[in-house]
Chains A and B, each alone.
Chain A
Amino acid sequence: MEILKAERLVKIYQDNGVPVSALNNINLTVSKGEYVVIAGPSGSGKTTLLNLLGALDKPTEGRIYFEGEDITTKDKNELSKIRLHKLGFIFQAYNLIPVLTAIENIEFSMMLLGISDKERKEKALALMDELGIKELANKRPNEMSGGQQQRVAVARAIVNNPSVVLADEPTANLDSVTAGHLLDLMEQMNSEKNITFIFSSHDKNVIDRAKRLIILKDGRIDN
């Protein structure tokens, strides 16, 4: 089943009045349960593409269909609703709320959905257990290592059962062993829960484990 479809995407930034072409005629289709890695050198447009697919930014030209719906025409509130219900995000770093504990960070997305206190706790704990991070429950982000924070971020991203999880270079700040564990986790969630992952990386270890690889170069797909 086709979840995401990008048609002739173009993104041109204005850098102090100078147009910078970041994406050039991207066509891409992602199906349910895929595990996609977008690779490419720095500046090739990976972040830009993920932001567009994640409804965080709008393309200069082209269309993006999410579960068949065109999201390029939607307003801020509708997009925020789609992100809340259908998408999960993992960022490179600093992406947990610093004043909340691990479990509260995971609960936060559920709170936004209006899930009750009790149910939130149970679900968050069950998921943390599954991901092997139960002992982190009451730790604040600054009491956790980078790898631990990213695991909590994975938990937060998937707790609302999103259709797609988008991750922009999630392993960039981790050493290779920790990065490997994080990849194990994402692969496990992908195969066990059939969650679709799309993430970017320029790390060879990550790229080698990709089930589907899209290589970007100067804003174009190069494979």
Chain B
Amino acid sequence: MLLKLAWRNIWRNKRRSIIVLISIVVGLTAIVLTDGLSNGMIRQMLFNQVNLDISHLQIHKAGFNSNKVIKNFIPDYQHVESILKSNPEVAAYSKRVFATGILSSANNSSGVIIYGIDPEEEARVSIIKSSIVEGKYLSGSKREIIIGKKLAEKLGVDVGDKVVAMSNTLKGDIGSDAFRVAGIFQTANSEFDKMTVYIVAGAEQEMLNTGDNYHEFAVILKDYNNVTSIKSKLESALGSRYEVFTYKDLLPLFIFQMDLYKESMMILNIIIGLALIFGIVNTMLMSVFERIREFGVLMAIGMRNSKLYLMILFEAFMLGILGTLVGLVCGLLLDIPLAHSGINLSLFATGLESFGIGAIIYPVLSVGNLINAALFMPFVAVLGALYPAYKAIKLEPIYAINYV
């Protein structure tokens, strides 16, 4: 009955309640939308990084990550490979050889990192094959190279043109080889495109004189959420000659940025919440002041202060719930189509690209975020009603009854 009373009290001043409802709906819609967008952005940033070159897990010779020199190749890589092959949680892996060097064309030259890969393996762990925008991906021929679009522009080369790669060899002298540009790729990360080139592993091993050796296993898991536990399993299976890193270990700055980003989103939500609290305080105060006489009657017939207090909180709570229901529906109606089509941020994309974000953001809605958003408004509304309700119960019944 108290609930019924509270519900009807809300609708006494329809216009006022509707204004509060609209502000709750707008606030919630904004929260759902920004949450979706920021989630989508974070996911995309992470996926772009992970799928470009980081992968979920990397295995090296112990010490390689802090000292990436040619001689730190993986000892007994067949051993590692057999362990990965027998692990059911591993979806794919790619063996890589690395060297830093210089790529030259007839016109220009540029510092690069040369990835030596098995084209088929690499295609299963990274997006490099699908990022080819001109020409073709590596066919397996030792004289082919693929390079980023930015680098191709800098060197002034096209598909079919000849380039020369140069690097230190294992012994410390200079090794070099000529390649023909088979394809040009473009990823969301223009920095990566400027300094990464791919050739077939065998060609690089010949150039560096490293024999049949690799520097890295890039591993993709069936479920990346298990990455930490799989890391420790692999560590104990491999022993101390090797090091295993997760993408979280490899992208500490990125993870930090993500946390920072999430926090700034939370602050935004708090600001929206505060604005709403003031709106609700104001509305509830008005509605309390309008009913002073009525509260006097309620007190006179023996309504306890605690019940009166509860009734006023219920009113705000119901406004919050109602606003939440409508707001969630509005937020989802906006978000779901956007999650399919994406939001085109190409206006700002030149800035975003160097962070590894594409021009189109696809909002991602998580159930957890939706639940948080759904709990947020009723909570905010009740918070906003605390003071007005306190004002109401501080009234003396005799004063209230005679109030005009």
The interface of chain A, by Cβ under 8 A from chain B, is: 51, 54, 56-57, 76-77, 80-81, 83-85, 87-89, 91, 94-95, 97-100, 104, 107-109, 111-112, 117, 156-157
Shortest beta-carbon contacts, A-B, top 7: A84-B302, A99-B8, A83-B302, A57-B398, A111-B1, A56-B398, A89-B300
Interface pair B305/A77, CB less than 8 Å apart: yes
Show the binding face of B for A, using Cβ within 8 Å.
1-2, 4-5, 8-9, 11-12, 293-294, 297-305, 307, 397-398, 401
Contact of B301 among A77, A81, A99, A156 (CB under 8 A): A156
* Nearest-Cβ distance from residue B392 to partner chain A, whole angstroms: 14
Question: What 13 additional pairs, Cβ within 8 angstroms, besides A80-B305, A95-B297, A112-B302?
Answer: A56-B300, A76-B305, A80-B303, A83-B301, A91-B297, A97-B5, A97-B294, A98-B12, A104-B1, A109-B301, A111-B2, A112-B304, A117-B1
A80 and B304 contact, Cβ closer than 8 Å, known pairs A91-B297, A95-B297: yes
- Chosen A-B contacts, 30 in total, with CB atoms closer than 8 Å, are A51-B398, A56-B397, A56-B398, A56-B401, A77-B304, A80-B299, A80-B303, A80-B304, A81-B304, A83-B301, A84-B301, A84-B302, A84-B304, A85-B302, A89-B297, A89-B300, A89-B301, A91-B297, A91-B401, A95-B297, A97-B5, A97-B297, A98-B294, A99-B12, A104-B4, A109-B301, A109-B302, A111-B1, A111-B2, A112-B301
Residues A81 and B302 in contact, CB atoms below 8 Å apart: yes
Query: Which residue on B lies nearest to A81, using beta carbons?
Result: B302
**Cα(A109)–Cα(B303), bound, Å:** 8
Bound form: Cα–Cα A98–B11 in Å? 12
CB distance from B120 to the nearest CB of A (A): 73
Q: B4 contacts which chain A residues (CB < 8 A)?
A: 104
Beta-carbon nearest neighbor of A83 in chain B: B302
B301 to chain A, nearest CB (A): 6
What total of A-B pairs shows CB separation below 8 Å? 68
Shortest CB distance A203–B (Å): 21
Q: A104-B1, A111-B1 are in contact. Are A94 and B293 (CB under 8 A)?
A: yes
Q: Which residues of B contact A111 (CB under 8 A)?
A: 1-2
Give the distance in Å from the alpha carbon of A91 to the alpha carbon of B301 in the complex. 11
Residues of B within 8 A of A97 (CB): 5, 294, 297-298
Of chain A, the residue at the smallest CB distance from B2 is: A111
Contacts of B293 in A (CB 8 A): 94
A51 to B398, CA, bound (A): 7
Residues of B within 8 A of A89 (CB): 297, 300-301
Main secondary structure, interface of B, reads helix
B297: chain A residues at CB < 8 Å are 89, 91, 94-95, 97
Complex interface: chain B residues within 8 A of A91 (CB)? 297, 300, 401
Cα A99 to Cα B298 with chains together (Å): 13
Q: In whole angstroms, how far apart are the Cα atoms of A109 and B12 in the complex?
A: 22
Could you say which residues of chain B place their CB within 8 Å of the CB of A83? 300-302
Contact assessment for B398 and A80 in the assembled complex, using a CB-CB cutoff below 8 Å: no
The chain A residue sitting closest to B308, CB to CB, is A80
Enumerate chain A residues within 8 angstroms of B5, measured Cβ to Cβ.
Answer: 97, 99-100, 108
CA distance A56 to B12 in the complex (A): 28
Give the residues in chain B near A156, CB-CB below 8 Å.
301
Given contacts A81-B302, A89-B301, A112-B302, A100 and B8 within 8 Å (CB-CB): yes
CB pair A54 B300 closer than 8 Å: yes
For the complex formed, measure the closest distance between the CB of B12 and the CB atoms of chain A, giving whole angstroms.
6
Closest CB in chain A relative to B296 CB, distance in Å: 9
**A109 and B307 alpha carbons, distance in the complex (Å):** 12
Most A CB within 10 A of own CB, among B4, B294, B300, B304: B300
Complex-state Cα separation, A107 to B307, whole angstroms: 16
The reply to whether B300 and A99 contact each other, CB–CB distance below 8 Å, is: no
In Å, the complex CA distance between A81 and B302 comes to: 6
- Provide the bound-state CA to CA distance between A107 and B401, in Å: 21
B298: chain A residues at CB < 8 Å are 97
Instruction: With CB as the reference atom, state the residue of chain A lying closest to B1.
Output: A111
Nearest-Cβ distance from residue A162 to partner chain B, whole angstroms: 10
Interface centre among B9, B299, B302, B304 (most CB of A within 10 A): B302
**Are A80 and B294 closer than 8 Å at their CB atoms?**
no
Min CB distance A127 to B, Å, is 15
Contacts of B401 in A (CB 8 A): 56, 91
**Closest residue of chain B to A113, judged by CB?**
B302
What is the distance, in angstroms, from A5's C-beta to the closest C-beta of chain B? 21
Task: List the B side residues contacting A76 at CB < 8 Å.
Answer: 305
Q: Give CA–CA (A94, B12) in the complex, Å.
A: 16
Decide: A112 and B307 in contact? CB cutoff 8 A.
Answer: yes
By a CB distance below 8 angstroms, the chain A residues around B2 are 111
Nearest-neighbour CB distance to chain A for B382, whole angstroms, equals 21
A202 to B293, CA, bound (A): 23
Name the A residues within 8 Å of B302 (CB-CB): 80-81, 83-85, 87, 109, 112
How near does chain A come to B4, taking the closest CB pair, in angstroms? 8
Select from chain B the residue with minimum beta-carbon distance to A57.
B398
Question: Closest Cβ of chain B: how far from A106's Cβ, in Å?
Answer: 11
Tell me the bound Cα distance from A145 to B141 in angstroms.
99
